[in-house]
Structure 1
Amino acid sequence: MPQSWATNGSHEPVGDDEQPLYAIQFRAGLLLEWKVNHRTESLVAGPRRERPALRVLYVSRDGQQAIVREWDAERTASGWRPEPEFASRIARASTDCDDVDIDNQESYRTMLEARYDVA
């Protein structure tokens, strides 16, 4: 993830029962929107629409928890650019996050420390 995104992205306020999560990786591409039967959760029709987007991986300071969030994006001649509302730090309860495999925790912490001033 570009350093400018980490530096210029907004920061969500962290509530009492939440932890900060930091953006460390992204994958850019098109998101396809389908019509879904909400009762059976099966695809009914589509794709109805496609839009450029980013899937961003956010991790906790200790690298033990993570979550993925999608953001609208724009593809430019120089690469991808997230929407202006992009947050480089989000806040989520630990129950909303997934546990990170122990083999990835150290690399996630290293990426986080390279992008953010956290101790």
Structure 2
Amino acid sequence: MGSTRRSGTTLEWRWKDETENRPLPESWARKGQEESVDEDEQSLYAIQCRGGLLLEWTVSRQTNAPVAGPNRERPALRVLYVTRDGQQAAVREWDATRQDGGWTPESAFASVIAKSPDACDDVDVDNREYYRSLVEERYDIE
């Protein structure tokens, strides 16, 4: 997330878990937006999410350690996206609404995002098949 600089400090949003990972609801996969993919990018599909808070801290630029805060908080979702073959992954945070029934993404949520392969991490071999099956199940693709 973005940061704002002051003399000697910067404001940073840092993640705090509030839930465990869970499979992405099918309705989110169907209703989420799809980012357009440029020729040097690939599509990644949302398969898991967890709810949490983004906390804004005043952080020392020298040590990267919090010196004050949290100043503000906002509910968010941390979403795991994977390629169709399950071999690469990326995480993106989205603003969310927190209600008694759980967490829901704001309207800008994208269920399919575009990223350069260099901006993604390789998935552990043991998880690739599972991730690939989640993509197929959630997005009705083979």
Alignment TM-score > 0.5, same fold: yes
The one of 30, 35, 46 aligned to 1:23: 46
For 1:75, the equivalent position in structure 2 comes to 98
Segments of 5+ residues of structure 2 without an aligned counterpart are 1-23
For 2:131, the equivalent position in structure 1 comes to 108
Shift of residue 60, structure 1, vs aligned partner: 0.5
Q: Say whether 1:58 aligns with 2:81.
A: yes
Q: TM-score, normalised by structure 2?
A: 0.79
Task: Tell me the amino acid that sits aligned with residue 43 of structure 2.
Answer: P
| 1:76-91 equivalence runs, <5 A | 76-91=99-114
For 2:32, the equivalent position in structure 1 comes to 9
Task: Tell me the amino acid that sits aligned with residue 3 of structure 1.
Answer: E
* SS of corresponding position for 1:103: helix
* SS of corresponding position for 1:13: coil
Segments of 5+ residues of structure 1 without an aligned counterpart are none
Structure with bigger RCO (C-alpha 8 Å, 6+ apart): 1
Task: Tell me the amino acid that sits aligned with residue 2 of structure 1.
Answer: P
Aligned residues: 119
Answer with 65-74 or 44-53: which moved more: 44-53
For 2:118, the equivalent position in structure 1 comes to 95
Aligned CA-pair RMSD: 1.2
